Amino acid sequence: MRKNIVAGNWKMNTTVPEGVKLAKEVNEALKDATVKCDVVIAVPFTHLTAIDAVIDQNKLGLGAENCADKKSGAFTGEVSAAMVASTGAKYVILGHSERRQYYGETAETLREKVLLALENGLKVIFCVGEVLEQRENGTYLNVVKEQIEKSLFNLSEADFGQIVLAYEPVWAIGTGKTATDDQAQEMHAFIRKTIAEKYGEVVADDTTILYGGSCKPSNAPALFAKPDVDGGLIGGASLDAASFMGIVTAF
Ligand code: 13P
């Protein structure tokens, strides 16, 4: 049975003290809440060690927002998967559209990043999604299929089991314009079918597929009620403990 997950992606927000405070608030709120999903926060590299020290990762998983496509060495400014794992983090987000769009990440570099993350025991939250033009010209299903095929379909079945997919239509990220629950369901069902064609029905059924893009406490219940939507990857609304918890408790 696949897991439901709500994961926060803090992006480039909060200083270390602010981040520690927010993580503590979420950690505390989880102690008193009835929660029917796994909860994860993905935070800036600089925050990982400090946050690992103040949360209970049995209740609140910790992740990074990226890692390098190289193992180690002369790559100034990069942070390796091994470094991320050594902080205590258990997850890493890879392939976020902001990384693809602003930092030139390609399907090929992402394939390397995924392999290194898995080698280091990290669970990967792998993001896919189309831009508005692709939504409007009707190529969106194929765009997402290609993103998955090019960066993930080299994996063994066992390795693929460590992947969580996140469908994030780029036009819905930070815009306040959420995909409708039917648009999300269409894509999620399509992603599951794509996985089934490669790895079989059992693997596809076990794969968690999150929705991301202007997800809020108000729209999360309808999105999460869809059969193939297994939770959310939350940007803006994860920066406030109460609104993040409003989404966590939407299941
Ligand atoms: P918003 O929730 O701010 O739209 O961001 C979504 C996202 O990009 C999560 O990775």
CATH number for the domain including 195? Answer: 3.20.20.70
What is the number of the ligand 1 atom nearest to the C-alpha of 127?
10
33, 112, 30, 216: which is closest to 41 by C-alpha? 30
Tens digits of residue pLDDT in 134-171: 999 999 999 999 999 999 999 999 999 999 999 999 99
210 CB-near residues (< 8 Å, 6+ apart): 5, 7, 125, 164, 165, 166, 167, 229, 230, 231, 232, 233
Show the tokens assigned to 35.
Answer: 């929660």
Residue 40 is part of which domain span?
5-248
Residues 155, 106, 91, 80: is their CA dihedral positive or negative?
positive
Look at residue 178 and tell me whether its pLDDT is greater than 90. no
CA of 177 to the centre of ligand 1 (A): 11
- Average pLDDT for the chain: 97
**Percent of the chain scored above 90 by pLDDT?**
97
CA of 88 to the centre of ligand 1 (A): 24
Mutate to test the pocket of ligand 1, among 10, 11, 178, 247 (most ligand atoms within 8 A of CB): 11
Tens digits of residue pLDDT in 65-122: 999 999 999 999 999 999 999 999 999 999 999 999 999 999 999 999 999 999 999 9
pLDDT value of position 238: 98
pLDDT interval class at 177 (50, 70, 90): confident
pLDDT interval class at 1 (50, 70, 90): confident
CA 200 to chain centre: 23
pLDDT interval class at 176 (50, 70, 90): confident
**Pocket-forming residues, ligand 1, beta carbon under 6 Å:** 9, 96, 168, 173-174, 212-215, 233-237
Number of independent structural domains in the chain: 1
Query: 3-state secondary structure string, the chain?
Result: CCCCEEEEECCCCCCHHHHHHHHHHHHHHHHHCCCCCEEEEEECHHHHHHHHCCCCCCCCEEEECCCCCCCCCCCCCCCCHHHHHHCCCCEEEECCHHHHHHCCCCHHHHHHHHHHHHHCCCEEEEEECCCHHHHHCCCHHHHHHHHHHHHHCCCCHHHHCCEEEEECCHHHCCCCCCCCHHHHHHHHHHHHHHHHHHHCHHHHHHCCEEEECCCCCCCHHHHHCCCCCCEEEECHHHHCHHHHHHHHCCC
Mutate to test the pocket of ligand 1, among 6, 66, 234 (most ligand atoms within 8 A of CB): 234
Active-site residue list: 96, 168
What is the number of the ligand 1 atom nearest to the C-alpha of 176?
4
pLDDT value of position 133: 95
CA of 195 to the centre of ligand 1 (A): 24
CA of 237 to the centre of ligand 1 (A): 8
Place of tokens 């608030």: 25
What is the number of the ligand 1 atom nearest to the C-alpha of 233?
9
